[in-house]
């Protein structure tokens, strides 16, 4: 998970308004489709993003194939984060969904020029509300580098609890990095004193 993400790309050049799957306080969530491949590829190719979430750049073709494959995967849901004017500003996902155990992992990536405005928190709150309010999830988890201060702050603000450290769990550019492990349980979500996404 990261708030430090890649280049903005063309941001779909005055893209026509998309159908929203879910709405939040300052943003909306729209399902990712194959036409978003170039945008996501640009964000993920940024070296800061690669460091923060421990990825390496892949080809645009590989990104298209991944979107097509993930679209048929019942274990994950991927969304573009959109401003009210339909400008895409990031990506958020609910991955590794296990309906039997009620568990899933959250992923978040924001374009750098859209950080610091509360959009990451609003998008994460919306995804959490989807997981607990519409899906039968009981436990959500998230991981990020221990020095990724913006992501750590977003997770804490959204109510996630710091469970511990996965030592040397990520290899990037020949170095091992520790990952901070966070979780949010359904009773903790229920106790949060904030409006739900469906009240937006």
Angle formed at CA 78 by CA 39 and CA 53, multiple of 5 degrees: 70
Amino acid 14: pLDDT: 38
Amino acid 140: pLDDT: 98
On the 0-12 / 13-18 / 19+ scale of CB atoms within 10 A, 129 is buried
Asked if pLDDT for residue 55 goes beyond 50, the answer is yes
Task: Give the pLDDT confidence of 160-199 residue by residue, as tens digits.
Answer: 999 999 999 887 777 888 999 999 999 999 999 999 988 8
Please compute Rg for the chain using Cα positions.
Answer: 16
| d(C-alpha 33, C-alpha 71), whole Å | 8
Q: What is the DSSP code (8-state) at residue 3?
A: S
Architecture of domain 22-199: 3-Layer(aba) Sandwich (3.40)
Contacts of 68 (CB under 8 A, 6+ apart): 34
Amino acid 39: pLDDT: 80
Amino acid 52: pLDDT: 64
Mean pLDDT of all residues in the chain? 83
User: What pTM value is reported for the model?
Assistant: 0.82
β partners of residue 161:
183
Q: Which residue has the higher pLDDT, 107 or 43?
A: 107
Task: Compute the average pLDDT of residues 137-146.
Answer: 94
Task: Give the pLDDT confidence of 74-129 residue by residue, as tens digits.
Answer: 788 999 999 988 899 999 999 999 999 999 999 998 887 787 888 899 999 999 99
On the 0-12 / 13-18 / 19+ scale of CB atoms within 10 A, 44 is buried
Amino acid 191: pLDDT: 96
Amino acid 170: pLDDT: 81
- Percent share of the chain, pLDDT over 90: 44
- Cα torsion 182, 118, 57, 17 to 10°: value is 130
């Amino acid at each position: 998970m990261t708030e430090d993400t890649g280049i903005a790309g063309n941001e779909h050049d005055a893209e026509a308004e998309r159908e929203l799957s879910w709405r939040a306080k300052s943003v909306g969530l729209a399902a990712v489709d194959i036409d978003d491949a170039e945008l996501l590829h640009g964000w993920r190719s940024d070296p800061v993003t690669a460091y923060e979430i421990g990825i390496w750049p892949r080809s645009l073709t590989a990104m298209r194939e991944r979107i097509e494959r993930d679209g048929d995967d019942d274990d994950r849901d991927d969304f573009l984060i959109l401003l009210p004017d339909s400008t895409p500003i990031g990506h958020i996902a609910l991955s590794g969904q296990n309906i039997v155990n009620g568990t899933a992992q959250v992923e978040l990536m924001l374009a750098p020029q859209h950080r610091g405005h509360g959009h990451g928190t609003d998008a994460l709150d919306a995804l959490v509300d989807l997981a607990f309010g519409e899906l039968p999830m009981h436990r959500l988890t998230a991981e990020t580098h221990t020095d990724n201060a913006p992501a750590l702050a977003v997770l804490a603000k959204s109510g996630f609890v710091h469970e511990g450290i996965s030592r040397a769990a990520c290899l990037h550019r020949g170095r091992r990095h520790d990952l901070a492990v966070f979780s949010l349980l359904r009773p903790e979500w229920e106790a949060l004193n904030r409006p739900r996404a469906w009240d937006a």
